[in-house]
């Protein structure tokens, strides 16, 4: 049984050496959805997440929506333990797989095979287990002998094939996604969609941030509306999307 519980979670980003009257602060105020304030250290603080509490359990397919800077990606990174809460706490049961940056850890000077093992280690997969998965990854990429050469020689489509194949080689209990992974290679697109749909179908919990209402409707049964780092609404997809136009800024 998988679950995630957030209890009064906050994430603050302090920004030093920015004057209250500076142009930099004015720029930040315009470009971020987080709330800006000043603390006792006289530094500007971006409150990226503000007092979030909710519970996810088996079967939940949750879409996170909101305008740019609302806190969607920050929330995903907190769930993935990339960011630590500055207040509150998170507890979870189940293996978490974040598909947030498929290019993370890719070394352009290493071969395709070397990058498969390296990326696996960054995903928390032991080397012995990753070696067992190589045949399946190689077959899925259809890159053949190109896996023996440095990936700086790859086209963008070949690079995306490799990164996507490694990122989706494990079956998580809790799947985190920041938008649906884009694959530009048309010959690879249909197989990539099928593989991603299989991951989503088999995962106990899925949390997906997206600007697309159609993706949220098709993949999710619940939704979270974020605004300025706060949870505005956690309800059914239809109720959250009805509220969305009145909150999201153009």
pLDDT in tens, 111-148: 999 999 998 888 788 889 999 999 999 999 999 999 99
Domain boundary assignment for the chain? 3-94+208-247, 99-203
Q: Do the Cβ atoms of 161 and 185 come closer than 8 Å?
A: yes
Q: Would the pTM of this model clear 0.85, i.e. be above it? A: no
Length of the chain: 250
Average pLDDT score over the chain: 86
Q: What percent of the chain stands above pLDDT 90?
A: 55
Please, what CATH class does the domain formed by 3-94+208-247 belong to? alpha beta
Type and span of the H or E element at 188: helix 186-202
pLDDT of 89 above 60:
yes
The answer to whether the beta carbons of residues 49 and 84 sit under 8 Å apart is: no
Q: What is the pLDDT of residue 172?
A: 86
Residue 188, pLDDT score: 82
Return the pLDDT at 249: 45
Fold topology of 99-203: Rossmann fold (3.40.50)
Q: Helices (DSSP H) in 58-126: which residue ranges?
A: 72-79, 112-122
Q: Can you tell me the distance from the alpha carbon of 148 to that of 75, in angstroms, rounded to the nearest whole number?
A: 38
94-98, 144-148, 200-204, 223-227: least confident range: 94-98
Report the interhelical angle of 186-202 vs 156-167 (nearest 10°): 10
Alpha carbon distance 167, 199 (integer Å): 11
Which residue is listed with tokens 């209402």? 213
- Fold match flag (3-94+208-247 vs 99-203): yes
Asked if pLDDT for residue 182 goes beyond 70, the answer is no
**pLDDT tens, position by position, 2-59:** 999 999 999 998 877 655 555 555 555 554 555 655 555 567 788 899 999 999 999 9
């Amino acid at each position: 049984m998988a679950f995630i519980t957030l209890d009064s979670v906050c994430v603050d980003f302090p920004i030093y050496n920015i004057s209250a009257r500076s142009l930099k602060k004015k720029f930040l105020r315009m470009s971020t959805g987080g709330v800006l304030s000043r603390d006792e250290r006289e530094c500007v603080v971006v409150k990226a997440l503000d007092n979030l509490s909710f519970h996810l359990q088996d079967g939940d397919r949750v879409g996170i929506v909101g305008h740019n800077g609302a806190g969607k990606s920050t929330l995903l990174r907190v769930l993935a333990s990339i960011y630590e809460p500055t207040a509150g706490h998170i507890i979870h049961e189940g293996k978490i797989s974040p598909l947030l940056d498929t290019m993370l850890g890719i070394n352009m000077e290493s071969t395709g095979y070397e990058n498969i093992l390296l990326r696996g280690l960054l995903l928390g997969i032991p080397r012995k287990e990753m070696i067992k998965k190589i045949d399946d990854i190689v077959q899925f990429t259809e890159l053949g002998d190109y896996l023996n050469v440095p990936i700086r020689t790859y086209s963008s489509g070949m690079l995306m094939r490799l990164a996507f194949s490694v990122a989706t080689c494990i079956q998580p209990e809790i799947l985190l996604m920041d938008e649906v992974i884009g694959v530009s290679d048309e010959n690879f697109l249909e197989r990539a969609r099928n593989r991603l749909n299989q991951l989503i179908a088999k995962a106990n919990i899925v949390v997906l941030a997206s600007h697309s209402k159609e993706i949220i409707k098709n993949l999710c049964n619940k939704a979270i509306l974020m605004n300025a780092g706060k949870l505005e609404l956690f309800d059914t997809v239809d109720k959250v999307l009805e509220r969305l136009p009145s909150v999201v800024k153009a």
